[in-house]
Structure 1
């Protein structure tokens, strides 16, 4: 294969950005960037909604619970049609399917980020509200954090999870008031116990009919009234309807310099490294504050930073990221939706959830309110690595899942009818990794398959007929694929 016919790859800088901002490199993604006129224009279109969102609506229709109202979900549970835990599992499947095929990759990436920052588990314990919560977060994922924070904190899913659902003026529950300060905004060291108590009082008034009708409402008679002070925020809080006070309080917290640094730190950890430079955090926090908590300017500043450009292949993929990136790298296509809309059959759109579970963590299955960890140490155990190897091999062979999916035929990986083994390895590296094969990768491929560099591979060669899965796992098990 001559140099002129080699599979095209993006620049190193573009590849790095795509690996961080999307669910994984694909040749189609490279073509989308080229069609946009380069990475900068592509990124701008991603941030401003320039790509169609049909995959979001199309996949939502695959599971009945995704488009059902909370009242409908509760009725289905009562009628033994579909349990609340199954509805949450369907939501988890939907988020994975969205990340595999969405044209709005940056939006899906940021939705995932915020759903773990403003974490609510998807395990049935928040009643019929988890899917609604995820949709709410996605709708605010690229706007202002002040708006996102208010939408999340006042959502019934958050109220149920952090026991604010029936917090009253006689007995204010401090769980949400504390986590709002510790996890969602300013962080530890910025407040005291008196601030937590006042925070809880401001949050009183919301009601949920737990395990009866799950009706969500606001009852002014249950709102604690009287002067409140939280850090530098003070309010007479004299009206029975405390929602305006809460809105002002959440706006204050969202715009606090400590919140700016916390959001900047988490974004830097997510998109740069586990130990991001303090200078970068300071600059991002300044952009956040000067743009009134708008998220897009912060993302632009982050991606344009030299720290971002220098931090290649240092972030370890989480279980869900590994599975989704593997589907994308292998070109696995979902060809059939779940049959009955309840997630009960063994189609690939459902089975992908159990793949992520087998790697150590399904989406939004983290039990603590601090959200899934985002460090290499959390996802670099021997057991996790071995589990990944198994998933890579079964997917590369097209052995599981099998229903409702289309895998590329083994011969489809050949760039032409006859190709030297070394050229095939380079083609696969360019297709799967988005970059040419290194000398080390060539060596590993030869050792894994027993092929010589100059050996001619045809559709009748043993590699194509029986052993393509073994060759493909050389690329999937590589640190290049396991990191982003």
Structure 2
């Protein structure tokens, strides 16, 4: 017996468009494809993403779910003192917001780049950075598509970075080298470009900022704590004679942001993030040249990256991180966040997003070292990680967890017609969850998982629709197509 009529096939993008969307968004959806089509194709859609043409209300609305996200550092600290919300909870709130943003945002490229920069200029979401973590994240997001020179200035002088890398208590009598070293090693030129004398001079330049750690967290610049005297870091030299060293810091950071070694480092990390774990040298050189030619502006670099033949040739080469897996699963299953958490309610879905990522091995910005989360397949391809992902996929496919504050699709809603063959249903699901047609291998696995025959007719009353849809959905979610981007 066969289905009487062909089923209405969900439109899918070209292979090239799908590949680019997988790299520059948090996960494919049919709605995303419709947005690309409405824009006139991927190139126009990408340009509209870069210029901020799409609605950003989702980020604004969801930020209001957690009062600490938009609060000033002073307000965050007062809430901690008053016993309303401890600092660790404020950090968790920001982590949850970063996930919620990526799930529903219309500005997918902005969110992707904000995530990239928050791991490059890494500050963990941990109570040790005081009341500043959400403020830091908002700052990075606001500059994620601007000039790296501006982002570097704002990040290095931000109190969250000062607390994390102990620049908050660095003084002319005892310069702390942490920030001065990581600025060179991680944020700009990279290893092999400087020596220990450069690190010491870098630390001296950055002295002067003060923070009332665990007292009032007041941020100030005190010239009395700034080290004065001539400084040389690599090719940068300055008399550094004034007590107020902030102009020296500005000049120093501008020098580092525009250094050819920094250009290569930024280009390498972008290519590793969006192309492959071992980015082609020719691509890195071209991106570095664009970066320098455009005075550290990021948008021209992204334009060069997205149109590169190296990107087009690197399909299915990147493994999703825990946070990426969780967000992509929410998007693929079309699960909606429907309620704001209240008073730290850990049973609400918007907060349970964080525990989902924790179960996969790493929460957003939970990496404790200053080098930021790894961005290679080997780091996220362990057996334990895969099994944990299988569990998350299955519980979400069944609509079992998270439950409160989440709206799941009914199994019957996945049927595009009153009746259709099983092979057509698998193709329909592949088009909606993967953005591509089913394959013989996918159909074979789906048949083995469910016991269905390819030409078996599926209706609303079929056992698949009544109680076995989670098993079928997880076939697609556990596949390499979903686990990679």
Q: In which range does the TM-score fall when normalised by the shorter chain?
A: over 0.9
Shift in Å, 1:4:
8.1
User: Is residue 8–residue 417 contact of structure 2 (8 Å, CA) maintained in 1?
Assistant: no
**One of 280, 284, 287 as aligned partner of 1:284:** 287
The corresponding residue for 1:191 is 194
Answering whether residue 180 of structure 2 is matched by residue 203 of structure 1, we say no
* Distance (whole Å) between structure 2 residues aligned to residue 300 and residue 4 of structure 1: 38
**One of 176, 180, 187 as aligned partner of 1:173:** 176
The corresponding residue for 1:264 is 267
* Distance (whole Å) between structure 2 residues aligned to residue 437 and residue 416 of structure 1: 18
Answering whether residue 289 of structure 2 is matched by residue 309 of structure 1, we say no
The corresponding residue for 1:428 is 429
Answering whether residue 389 of structure 2 is matched by residue 388 of structure 1, we say yes
* Distance (whole Å) between structure 2 residues aligned to residue 70 and residue 234 of structure 1: 35
Answering whether residue 333 of structure 2 is matched by residue 330 of structure 1, we say yes
Shift in Å, 1:345:
3.5
**One of 204, 214, 217 as aligned partner of 1:214:** 217
How high is the TM-score relative to the length of structure 2?
0.99
The corresponding residue for 1:145 is 148
The corresponding residue for 1:441 is 442
What's the CA shift string for 1:226-278, capped at 9, x where partnerless? Answer: 00000000000001111110000000000000000000000000000000110
**One of 18, 22, 25 as aligned partner of 1:22:** 25
How high is the TM-score relative to the length of structure 1?
0.99
- Equivalent residues in 2 for 1:466-481, closer than 5 Å: 466-481=467-482
**One of 56, 63, 69 as aligned partner of 1:53:** 56
User: What is the aligned-residue RMSD (CA, Å)?
Assistant: 0.8
Answering whether residue 463 of structure 2 is matched by residue 462 of structure 1, we say yes
* Distance (whole Å) between structure 2 residues aligned to residue 67 and residue 440 of structure 1: 48
Residue 466 of structure 1 aligns to a residue in which SS? helix
Structure 2 unpaired stretches of 5+:
none
* Distance (whole Å) between structure 2 residues aligned to residue 152 and residue 346 of structure 1: 34
User: Is residue 7–residue 420 contact of structure 2 (8 Å, CA) maintained in 1?
Assistant: no
* Distance (whole Å) between structure 1 residues aligned to residue 214 and residue 121 of structure 2: 24
* Distance (whole Å) between structure 2 residues aligned to residue 454 and residue 182 of structure 1: 59
Structure 1 unpaired stretches of 5+:
none
* Distance (whole Å) between structure 2 residues aligned to residue 3 and residue 254 of structure 1: 57
Residue 127 of structure 2 aligns to a residue in which SS? coil
* Distance (whole Å) between structure 2 residues aligned to residue 62 and residue 148 of structure 1: 27
Runs of 4 or more off by more than 6 Å in structure 1?
Answer: 1-4
* Distance (whole Å) between structure 1 residues aligned to residue 447 and residue 6 of structure 2: 21
What's the CA shift string for 1:68-89, capped at 9, x where partnerless? Answer: 1111111111111110000000
The corresponding residue for 2:399 is 398
**One of 123, 129, 132 as aligned partner of 2:126:** 123
The corresponding residue for 1:69 is 72
* Distance (whole Å) between structure 1 residues aligned to residue 177 and residue 245 of structure 2: 16
Residue 128 of structure 2 aligns to a residue in which SS? coil
The corresponding residue for 1:318 is 321
Residue 467 of structure 1 aligns to a residue in which SS? helix
Answering whether residue 272 of structure 2 is matched by residue 232 of structure 1, we say no
* Distance (whole Å) between structure 2 residues aligned to residue 391 and residue 154 of structure 1: 39
* Distance (whole Å) between structure 2 residues aligned to residue 13 and residue 224 of structure 1: 54
User: Is residue 7–residue 416 contact of structure 2 (8 Å, CA) maintained in 1?
Assistant: no
* Distance (whole Å) between structure 2 residues aligned to residue 105 and residue 266 of structure 1: 19
The corresponding residue for 2:420 is 419
The corresponding residue for 2:376 is 375
User: Is residue 7–residue 424 contact of structure 2 (8 Å, CA) maintained in 1?
Assistant: no
Residue 358 of structure 2 aligns to a residue in which SS? helix
Larger CA deviation: 75-84 vs 434-443: 75-84
Shift in Å, 1:123:
1.4
The corresponding residue for 1:5 is 8
Answering whether residue 102 of structure 2 is matched by residue 99 of structure 1, we say yes
Residue 234 of structure 1 aligns to a residue in which SS? strand
Residue 323 of structure 1 aligns to a residue in which SS? helix
* Distance (whole Å) between structure 2 residues aligned to residue 336 and residue 37 of structure 1: 34
Number of aligned residue pairs: give it.
Answer: 482
User: Is residue 422–residue 454 contact of structure 2 (8 Å, CA) maintained in 1?
Assistant: yes
User: Is residue 7–residue 417 contact of structure 2 (8 Å, CA) maintained in 1?
Assistant: no
